[in-house]
Structure 1
């Protein structure tokens, strides 16, 4: 049977969580035909063996292995290219799904003819073997956005709790492969091609503490955030001046936070750009930010995609 939904799940060293995540995936309600595409990013623990065990037991599970660690941006794109479903369900596979997460997401997408649906997560101090995702009730809040880019440029939407149409993902080029982490680039790039975004407060996943995450490296996140918005600004000169100013502000905000985290960025020019951006008195020319690109690319303790030969 042709899957309606493809779960696309990059994996790197998730052996402590995979069995619990997969159990919550198998418990999904709604009789929805789906496939699962795991993309292993050269895990150094037992993750790949666990994934191959899943694949051997379930014919709807596929495992893509690799020989070079490339990061979640590239691996998510790799999985999406291989997927067969109309929709892509995009989650972190060290979390626990609500039992009706997929059913609710798909129902909303069809009801509102939406190509992007986003939900929430909730952190828990419970050990992962004790965590159960509570069933999503019907009293959740929902906002409908016919200008997805405007919504994405507002309050952040960086959690991997998405259902998106695969055609939109492919048309957008997926994640920005020049940056290691996909959190910022995925919604931004998708929103430029989507016609309707649904933002909900449904708690789709529970997030136990199962070890270190890339997100703990704030300098990496601000490095990636800056490059994502600068690349997008460069690639979309057709956008309105107002939208380009918002993108410029995102770049400057990432620079400011990176300086706070130790990046060697001169204060006075940055302060001038920050104030000018806040007041709207700025020409959002991406060439004015190129010197910061050079600073970011020379930071240590940062994963740069140029280091990866995929």
Structure 2
């Protein structure tokens, strides 16, 4: 297992772990964290997002037994993006390890990710998760080992605008997180806003074909709400497009297209968009017409902002 620091020196890794109603899964996740192999120092920061189950009690039990565990308690539910930022603001480690607390870590997950970051001079390392039908109490995450297909990208924004880097299986430099401002606080779920915002400041991202976590069916997955996904995806890219007019035209076009795609998918799930307007905007984008101006997304934003059944961030 990793060690804690008692000499006043900052740890190598800070685990930043938002929690909302995950009491049943937490003991298994924490056991996989304690079983991490390798020589690195660490601290563990759990941020309870006003859970209504026994999560807070479980977390307090961890902190009572381990001096490297801290629990940040909150009285209001604000969402994982805000809570991730809250935890990162108190972190001391050189790297932040960002995982979901209802998954199980591979025994060598953090060691392998640290080695990749150092060997390739990368400030972002991303792995994969693998779903399993086995109950969490029986599930296991296998060793990663050394036979890994590793791809590095210096055009980090270009890679993030591709596919398949939205799982919370990240190791990132804390200074990068701070420079990027962390997750978008206006978006409830952080999965897409975090890597997107980090990408503008990052020097290199590693996309490694390695299974970092096993994903049992532990329930309570925000990502199971498809309308929530499309709402948050639209808001993530629309906010980013508006905040960064300096982005190159080819990337602006791709970001604008992701907004239109999110709206079209939300339409299939019942979002009340004007079909003709949406289809015309989609076709215009496909053939290269239009300004890719965030102002042109305002009518779609209005529909998303008025959808019912959507969880929205609550800024402190």
TM-score (ref. length: structure 1): 0.98
Deviates more, 1:47-56 or 1:277-286: 277-286
1:235 aligns with 243
1:84 aligns with 92
Contact between 1:120 and 1:159, CA under 8 Å: does it hold in 2? yes
Give the counterpart of 2:151 among 143, 155, 173: 143
Q: Partner of 1:265: helix, strand, or coil?
A: coil
Q: Partner of 2:190: helix, strand, or coil?
A: coil
The offset of 1:309, in angstroms, is 5.2
Matches within 5 A, 1:62-73: 62-73=70-81
Stretches of structure 2 that go unaligned for 5 or more consecutive residues are none
2:223 aligns with 215
Contact between 1:297 and 1:304, CA under 8 Å: does it hold in 2? no
1:245 aligns with 253
Q: Partner of 2:137: helix, strand, or coil?
A: helix
2:14 aligns with 6
Count of residue pairs the alignment pairs up: 308
Give the counterpart of 1:284 among 280, 292, 305: 292
CA-based RMSD: 0.9
Matches within 5 A, 1:132-171: 132-171=140-179
Which whole-Å CA distance do the structure 2 matches of 1:184 and 1:12 have between them? Answer: 19
1:40 aligns with 48
The offset of 1:271, in angstroms, is 0.8
The offset of 1:303, in angstroms, is 1.4
2:83 aligns with 75
Which whole-Å CA distance do the structure 2 matches of 1:84 and 1:266 have between them? Answer: 49
Question: Could you give the per-residue CA deviations for residues 186-212 of structure 1, whole angstroms, max 9, x where no partner exists?
Answer: 110001110100001110000000113
Q: Find out whether 1:22 has 2:27 as its counterpart.
A: no
2:123 aligns with 115
Give the counterpart of 1:202 among 210, 213, 218: 210
Contact between 2:108 and 2:145, CA under 8 Å: does it hold in 1? no
Q: Flag as ranges the 4+ runs of structure 1 deviating above 4 A.
A: none
Which whole-Å CA distance do the structure 1 matches of 2:270 and 2:144 have between them? Answer: 41
The offset of 1:156, in angstroms, is 3.2
The offset of 1:232, in angstroms, is 0.3
Stretches of structure 1 that go unaligned for 5 or more consecutive residues are none
The offset of 1:279, in angstroms, is 2.4
1:126 aligns with 134
The offset of 1:213, in angstroms, is 1.1
Q: Partner of 1:82: helix, strand, or coil?
A: coil
TM-score (ref. length: structure 2): 0.96
Which whole-Å CA distance do the structure 2 matches of 1:37 and 1:272 have between them? Answer: 47
Q: Partner of 1:133: helix, strand, or coil?
A: coil
Matches within 5 A, 1:184-195: 184-195=192-203
Contact between 1:37 and 1:63, CA under 8 Å: does it hold in 2? yes
Contact between 1:68 and 1:309, CA under 8 Å: does it hold in 2? no
